[in-house]
Amino acid sequence: METATSSGIGNAIDRVEGRLKVTGMAKYASEFFVENLAYAQAINSTVAKGKIVSIDTSEAEKQKGVILVLTHLNAEKLKAYDEERPVLSVSSIQPVLQSPEIHYYGEYVGLVVADTFEQAQYAARLVKIEYEKDAPTINFEEARGEAYKPNEQSDHLRGDIDAGMAEAEVKLEATYNTPIEHQHPMELHAIIATWDNGKVKAYASQQMIDNAAITIAETFQIPKRDVRVIAPYVGGGFGSKLHAKQHVILAVMAAKMTGRPVQLTVTRQQMFTNTNLRQHNEQKISIGATRDGKLTALAHDTLSHTSTYEEYQEPCGSVSKMLYNVPNNRVTHRLIPMNIQTPFAMRAPGEATGSFALESAMDELAWKLKMDPIAFRILNDTQTDLSNDKAFSSRLLKECLRIGADKFGWNQRKMTPGTNRQGNWLIGYGVSAASRAAPYQKTSSKVLLELKNKTLYATVQMDATDIGTGSYTIIAQTASEYLGIPVERITVEIGDSLFPVTPGSGGSWGAASYANGARMACLNAIDGLKRKLNSHDKAGSIEALMIDNQVTRYEAEGTAEPSEAFKKHSVYSFGANFSEVWVDKDTGMYRIKRMVNVGACGKILNPKTAFGQIIGGLTMGAGMVIAEQSRVEPNYGNFITRSFADYHVPVNLDMANIEVVFLPEEDKIANEMGVKGIGELGITSVAASITNAIFNATGKRMRDLPVTPEKLLTAAVEEIS
């Protein structure tokens, strides 16, 4: 390895693309200049279930500037689903406008294309549609009897849960509810699509470039090589842009049919109906332990919903399978088909919601045992993932809890709820353990070395995306580290399907995958150049080698992928959350005063961007408790939360004084660079730490999110048995 520079990995440098963003120079999907551009506005259904019986487009077609009114009557024929309710994946086809059937309120039923955005929007309102309505399934409680088991992998069983519960001397059975939530990135979902002689070019706000190209190609039944997807900057995703949704297909179809490039933006209101969501999860926990605190059994049963036309299951029980040393374990998932759009992955799918249930239950059981909740967790720690009998590649959960307790001042916590007071405020401390899989996927990259005036510059290319996480910066830092030149001399080009393939951004695999891919390309460039020049100089810089041999240009590719050791271990990031909450005893209003987050996340590539990721996760976790919920109108099936006026998210005044601590860790089993994911660890179990603090302040258990003042005021104080 070449000598590291001060801007290499591990340094808290500013984002390399930061200036472009704050000056408005970074181009997002809808901002590219394309000649002869037309604009599209999608039309939404106004019933949740039924069938279109007539469409009158005549008035819309008469309007100035209108080029095309697209409905199921004149749409291109696309590839259809080959089963009734296929499992939704990041590369699933997305047939749209293929039939008169309506599956959910807001489903796309038409599209108007015009010379200007205003013309398209106006004409879209003039399309008259009549429906034959059917009674929709939108009531979770009434539809319980329709629940089904998605697949064999939905359930996990080890030991004998009944025997384990019988052995337990202290038991808890409780139900926890998390509501429907929506991802709301700042950048709306958008695309500019062109269709030229069967070749598609799409500037699209997508987290996964290669998968988007697959979806487009397979939906239209064209070769993938004829699809180019470009997304150099993505203004947030949180899972909502993992796969190409129906608006992408609509825009490509419109471009093909009109012969013009078409821009389509999903409005903020349509973000509630035409992108995915985190579904309502009802989670029942049964947990038992011996009197001295050793867990004997843990059952985690989740009931949730999917759409009537696609299937998605959020793995809420994933944490309960592996976090603690419990010999008897059952995890189940059941789904109810409902007339709501398909749910899909939202930041830490499974962990964010499942950890709320698990870590609340652990706190409740510790209270019943009269044990300190940190001591209870440490007592039941394990270095083996009992769900698959694999050793963890590294696991510093106990260290996270202990160090966090010291940083937070846990020894000042009063065991008895309601006894720490300041005026009208009741003060509580809460803790939760966190875990999140740290996947690492095959990633390819190209590096181009250029010597200009005896100075070495490098360009790194891959189809990775930066969704606000800092991908540009950590890729540049990795190249800086291995090539031995400053970040200022490195150009990172990402977000184009013409570049080498990566897994894209999602699942907390981005940093590890991108960095290791860039590393391999750099090492291959160095080794290849030395072989070409027959150089055996181990110590000299690559820059000097090129100068001495008058080589002005050299390029190489590299691919990194999981090792055999990785496959034989369970690879996770771990953490601990601590929250101090103040509750007004008369009004139920509460404030999150302090938060401490401790993480063991492998080697930290850039402490500044990593800190930002944890802050974002903590904020979303707090949002789960404070306010976030999407509510369905019980008669018609539309969302009555349709804007930020009624879908509330945390703002600066809602957030606490936050301290983030990264433990020194370099997990070489996880990957050669020892890097793990943190993007989703930051949200995991945050909600539980806050509600556990609320209990410590008030003696009231909050098992249904969000926690409103009304819920706090009407809840009963729980007595220890």
CA distance 449 to 541: 13
H or E stretch at 399: helix 397-408
List the one residue out of 265, 214, 220, 225 whose CA is nearest residue 75. 220
Give the pairing of strands 227-230 and 156-158: unpaired
Count how many residues are written for the chain. Answer: 721
Q: Strand 108-114's sheet: what is its strand order? A: 66-70, 108-114, 38-44, 262-265, 190-196, 199-204, 227-230
Q: Cβ–Cβ contacts within 10 Å for residue 394, how many? A: 22
Lowest mean pLDDT among 2-11, 82-91, 152-161, 669-678: 2-11
Question: Token match 């939360």: residue?
Answer: 641
The letter for the amino acid at 556 is A
As a whole number of angstroms, the distance between CA 387 and CA 587 comes to: 44
Label residue 5 by pLDDT band (50, 70, 90). low
Domains of the chain with bracketed CATH = 18-27+441-561 (3.30.365.10), 32-135+185-237+241-272 (3.90.1170.50), 345-438+569-714 (3.30.365.10)
Residue 682 has pLDDT above 50, yes or no: yes
Provide the percentage of residues in the chain whose pLDDT is more than 70. Answer: 99
Structure tokens at 330: 């059952």
What's 614-637 look like in SS3?
HHHHHHHHHHHHHCCCCCECCCCC
Instruction: Report angle CA 619, 509, 250 to the nearest 5 degrees.
Output: 80
Q: Dig out the tokens for 583 from the structure.
A: 């509750």
Kindly report, residue by residue over 687-718, the tens digit of the pLDDT.
999 999 999 999 999 999 999 999 999 999 98
Region 194-214 average pLDDT:
98
pLDDT digits (tens, 9 = 90+) for 495-544: 999 999 999 999 999 999 999 999 999 999 999 999 999 887 766 799 99
Cα distances from 264 to residues 44, 115, 120, 496, 654, in angstroms, run 14, 12, 10, 19, 34
What six digits make up the tokens of 515?
């960095």
CA 544 – CA 51 distance, rounded (Å): 71
pLDDT exceeds cutoff 70 at 131: yes
Q: What is the 3-state secondary structure (H, E, C) of 231-294?
A: CCCCCCCCCCCCCCCHHHHHHHHHHHHHCCCEEEECCCCHHHCCCCCECCEEEEEEEEECCCCC
The mean pLDDT value of the chain amounts to 96
| Cα–Cα distance measured from residue 335 to residue 686, given in angstroms and rounded to the nearest whole number | 26
| pLDDT tens by residue, 571-612 | 999 999 999 999 999 999 999 999 999 999 999 999 999 999
Tens digits of residue pLDDT in 472-500: 999 999 999 999 999 999 999 999 999 99
State mean pLDDT over 308-317.
Answer: 97
Q: What percent of the chain has pLDDT over 90?
A: 97
What is the distance between the alpha carbons of residues 16 and 488, in angstroms, rounded to a whole number? 8
Q: What is the mean pLDDT of residues 554-561?
A: 98
- Please name the residue that has the structure tokens 């069967």: 198
**So what's the pLDDT on residue 721?**
59
Write the DSSP string, 675-693: B---TTTTTTTHHHHHHHH
Q: Rounded to whole angstroms, how far apart are CA atoms 500 and 518?
A: 11
Residues with a known catalytic role: 680
- Tokens representing 67 are 């080029």
Alpha carbon distance 52, 72 (integer Å): 10
- Residue 108, token pair as written in the block: 């796309």
List, for residues 14-63, the tens digit of each pLDDT value. Answer: 999 999 999 999 999 999 999 999 999 999 999 999 999 999 999 999 99
Q: Nearest to residue 441, comparing CAs of 385, 370, 368, 517?
A: 517
C-alpha pair distances (Å), 79 with each of 49, 274, 295, 311, 492:
23, 20, 51, 18, 36
Give me 314's structure tokens. Answer: 């959020």
Closest alpha carbon to 581 in 567, 595, 569, 602: 595
Q: Is the pLDDT of residue 1 over 50?
A: no
CB neighbour list of residue 24: distance below 8 Å, 6 or more residues apart: none
Q: Cα angle vertex 429, ends 424, 432, to 5°?
A: 145
Band of residue 549 on the pLDDT scale cut at 50, 70, 90: very high
Strand pairing category for 590-600 and 657-662: parallel
SS3 of residue 60 by DSSP: helix
**Residue 106 phi/psi, 5° resolution?**
95, 0
225 CA to centre of own chain: 28
Separation CA 280–CA 706 (nearest Å): 12
What b/e sequence results for 354-387 when a residue is b if at least 16 CB atoms lie within 10 Å of its CB, and e otherwise? bbbbbbbbbbbbbbbbebbbbebbbbbebeebbb
Residue 370 · residue 416 · CB < 8 Å: no
Q: Is 719 helix (H, G, I), strand (E, B) or coil?
A: coil
pLDDT at position 315 over 70: yes
| Spatial distance between the Cα atoms of 270 and 345, rounded to a whole number of angstroms | 18
